[in-house]
Structure 1
Amino acid sequence: MRVVVMLKTAEGGRWIVPQVEELRRRGNEVIVVLPAGPGRLREQLHRAGVPMIDSPFRFRFRPTLATAAQLWSLRRLLRRLRPEVVHYHHYHAALAVRLSLLGLDVARIFMVPGPLFLESTPIRTAERFLARLDDLVIAGSAHTADLYRSMARREDALAAVPYGVDTRLFRPVDAATRAAARRRLGLPADVFVAVMAAYAYAPKSMVHRGTGIKGHDVLLAAWRSFTRDCPRSRLILVGEGWDAAGEEHRRELLRRFDVAADPTVDWFAGVIDVRQYYAAADVSVSPSRSENHGAALEAGACGVPSIVSDAGGLPETVNRDSGWVVPTGDVEALAAALRGAHAEFRSGRLARRSPAARDHIEQRFDSGDCARVVADLVETTGGRQPVSRRRPAAAPVG
């Protein structure tokens, strides 16, 4: 079976790679359509030998003749490729594919990497009708699936499967590796270390106006409160701005919270491998205002307990033994959770959460298991008997 996979980025979206590899392992032909230009996703797909084609559509919806011409070129490309299934991620890609495939007999699958676009009332209203053009919507979290149910999406055209995390790549380290990671970062064994790994995104105009969706500002404000009582602590922020606007937002946060003058905070940009920071961490923090599962999956796979906001799918990433859930945007609640984790660190109880964190992610969010479920759904939607029926579609997010 020929499957075309389409995304709006050549940089992010590396979570599609296990799905692509699983489909190819089963003998399916997979072609990935990406925007022109370099990016880490393109590099990873190239190393795996996956065929790629530059998208003629530039993923900007403006009422111009150029937009119409790009959509027509995309339609011609998809007709030439003659796929049985087009599998698309990101809302802009979904809109482009839906418009380009009007009137064509091709199975369409939209896999939703996060709920942010559904938090805009106008977009959510439009999506109630536009999603009817999809044969199947695969929600990346149980939370997103519930949003589609509230929009009257039929159960037989809806599944909930996470993108997951590579639990072989992200795994707990031994004591010697942890000690070495701390030495490299200049962190004594008795210092409590919190890590937040996330790109900085500029504030959006249609949702969460004026604030970054990842909640860096919430954590930095909570950290100020927390360190008044627990000064022997260190916060490590990992990640640059997603784009030029995101980098400007990051620099504004550095200025607003005077990070350069705070010896308890470090912010590292340009990091390729975050595992060294999880090796040194005692807790991971994900204070997002909107999120699918985010960095909490990588942290949990590494055996690091998490403090997460109750936004989107984040509460699905922890249980009572592996972490804490706090109200979105609540600075004092986040500071209190940090104090609770710190108290457990001092008593030695925090380390007991590590096996529970690892087990929760391994059982529910292993990317290999999730990719097999997605491949089953793609093959079924494309009219082929799936190679694997190891578990039902909704099982991984439980």
Structure 2
Amino acid sequence: MAVLLKTNSGGLWVLPQVEALRRRGHQVVLIIPPGAGGLTAEAQERGFEVIGSPFAFTFRPSLSTLRGLRELRALLRRLRPDVVQYHLYASALAARLSAPGLPLRRVHMVAGPLYLESPLIRSVERLLWRLDHVTICGTGYTSELYGALGCPADRRPVVTYGVDTDHFAPTPAASDPRPHDPALDERRAGTRTELGIPQDAFVAVMVAYVYPPRRLVHRGRGIKGHDVLLEAWRMFRAHHPRAHLLLVGGGWGRAGETHREELIARFGVTADPSVTWLASTTDVRPCYVAADVSVSPSLSEGHGAAIEAAAMGVPTIVSDAGGLPETVDETSGWIVPRGDVAALASTLAAAYREFEAGQLGARGEQARRRAVELFDERTAAVAVADVIEGSVVRR
């Protein structure tokens, strides 16, 4: 089997899936951009063969694009995999254009629904999905979008990418700690001290890169909704002075960092003592431990950081975008309309009331239980392996 991915640094979420396939006796090779990267290093460390892609995953109308696709096709012909699985839309286009006619099965796994929210791309995808033998949808929302494009239900199964619920756990030694676990309390206090956050504050956390506004979807808005949260925070904080907002994530690329700097200036973040913005961190788990509630106000999203927060035992406020509503229920979090500043401020106030009443711990416990039951990446990896094997059987 070959896995085609347009990044050699991100995409670590593919590793549990290829591990599950290897445990079943399958040989897996990763085709990713050449050069050093986090995915390259980790895959090689685990003993997987990594081959530098001859195609650069750009689709400018040029001879180099045609040459790269031809060389990718030659590589697949030489490897002779039974299945090529691909993630991220540029990888899907590359596989579809280079593999027709080859004796292999094409399995597209969809990480996020953003490209399907573009009317232009959606009209093209109405035809191109037919080049995939199976489209594994990371959320139920994505499966519904493909259904609207005519894809039959048996060709668009839903399997989450999932989260490592052992790595993302409230305390290293306890899978379901009680809300007053002394070890958890100690970690919480230590992180707040390091970040300069008052011990008695109500803390909301948002973990997300800052993406620049996209040209084809949500024009002029960053898709993660940082602007929505920052504006809602102003409204909420005016009536709740004992509250602190922790933002975690820098800009994605130069354009993303420029957009982040624009947000900092627009909302006066530097001068606001109630907001801490960490551009980078080696480990986001302490940030979740320090928080009382997580916020995912995206305009477009799969499951995103909401399932990380849930695994860490943190209740979450999510927008109704994409697959986010699938990550919470009425006992573990809240859903607000995307882009609705007033609704988000009001829901922050509702979470604050539960914070004062000592009720957020129960929501956090329920969030953790749901994460283990519904979003564990090991269970998801087994389901992906089942679908891939089934695609060969159905040939």
CA distance in 2, matches of 1:93, 1:233: 43
The letter for the 2-side match of 1:55 is S
Q: How many Å separate the matches in 2 of 1:40 and 1:314?
A: 27
| Aligned counterpart, 1:148 | 146
Query: Which of 61, 64, 69 is matched with 1:63 structurally?
Result: 61
Matching residue of 1:392: none
Deviation at 1:293, TM superposition (A): 0.3
TM-score norm. by structure 1 comes to 0.94
Matched residues in 2 for 1:216 and 1:44: separation? 31
* Superposition map of 1:119-134 within 5 A: 119-134=117-132
Partner Cα distance (2:37, 2:210) in 1: 18
Q: Distance in 2 between matches of 1:207 and 1:180?
A: 41
1:96 aligns with 2:102: no
Supply the AA of the counterpart residue of 2:29: I
**Structure 2 residue ranges without an equivalent (≥5):** 172-183
Matched, 1:368 2:395: no
Q: Which residue of 1 aligns with 2:72?
A: 74
* 185, 196, 212: which one aligns with 1:202: 212
**Structure 1 CA distance for aligned equivalents of residues 189 and 124 of structure 2:** 52
In structure 1, the partner of 2:11 is 13
* Identity level (%): 54
Aligned to 1:330: 340
Alignment of 1:315 onto 2:313: no
The whole-number CA distance in structure 2 between the counterparts of 1:266 and 1:316 is: 29
SS in 1 for 2:295: strand
Q: Deviations over 1:35-88 (max 9, x none)?
A: 123332223223222211111111111111111111101111111111000000
2:159 is aligned to: 161
1:246 aligned partner: 256
For 1:217 and 1:146, the matched residues in 2 are separated by 28
Mapped to 1, the partners of 2:262 and 2:34 lie a distance apart of: 30
SS in 2 for 1:159: coil
* Residue aligning to 1:186: 196
Following the alignment from structure 1 to structure 2, what is the Cα–Cα distance between the partners of residues 320 and 246? 34
Task: Extract unaligned runs of 5+ from structure 1.
Answer: 386-398
Cα distance in 1 between the residues matched to 2:87 and 2:312: 27
- 1:213 partnered with 2:223: yes
Rounded to whole Å, the distance in 2 between the matches of 1:20 and 1:232 is 46
Report whether the alignment pairs 1:358 with 2:378.
no
Q: Provide the secondary structure at the position in 1 that maps to 2:314.
A: coil
What residue identity is the alignment partner of 1:139? C
CA distance in 2, matches of 1:94, 1:337: 38
Mapped contact 2:187–2:286 kept (Cα < 8 A)? no
Aligned counterparts of 1:363 and 1:325: Cα–Cα separation in 2: 20
Q: Distance in 2 between matches of 1:91 and 1:368?
A: 24
- What CA deviation, in whole Å up to 9, does each residue of 1:259-282 have, x standing for no partner? 110001111112231001001110
For 1:201, give the aligned amino acid. Y
Q: 1:379-390 maps to which residues of 2 (within 5 A)?
A: 379-383=389-393
Q: AA paired with 1:309?
A: S
The count of aligned residue pairs is 383
Decide which moves more: 143-152 or 29-38. Answer: 29-38
Q: Which moved more, 1:262-271 or 1:181-190?
A: 181-190
Determine the C-alpha separation between the residues in 2 that align with 1:220 and 1:287: 10
* Rounded Cα–Cα distance in structure 1 between residues aligned with 2:292 and 2:25: 43
Q: Distance in 1 between matches of 2:100 and 2:38?
A: 32
Equivalent of 1:87 in 74, 85, 88? 85
Residue 304 (structure 1) aligned with residue 314 (structure 2): yes
- Displacement after TM superposition at 1:384 (Å): 9.1
Partner of 2:134: 136
Matched, 1:277 2:275: no
Deviation at 1:236, TM superposition (A): 0.8
Distance 2:259 2:70 in 1: 36
Whole-Å separation in 2 of the counterparts to 1:262 and 1:44: 39
State the alpha-carbon separation in 2 of the partners of residues 47 and 325 from structure 1: 40
Q: What residue identity is the alignment partner of 1:120? A: S
CA distance in 2, matches of 1:101, 1:314: 33
Residue aligning to 2:27: 29
Q: TM-score, normalised by structure 2?
A: 0.95
In 1: Cα distance, 2:199 partner to 2:2 partner? 49
Higher mean displacement: 327-336 or 53-62: 53-62
SS in 2 for 1:114: coil
Which letter does structure 1 place at the counterpart of 2:126? R
Superimposed CA distance per residue, residues 207-237 of structure 1 (whole angstroms, 9 cap, x where no aligned partner): 0011100011111111111110011111111
Distance change (3 Å), C-alpha of 1:279 and 1:19: same
1:109 is matched by which residue type in structure 2? V
Which AA in structure 1 matches 2:123?
A: T
What CA distance in whole angstroms lies between the structure 2 residues aligned with 1:93 and 1:143? 21
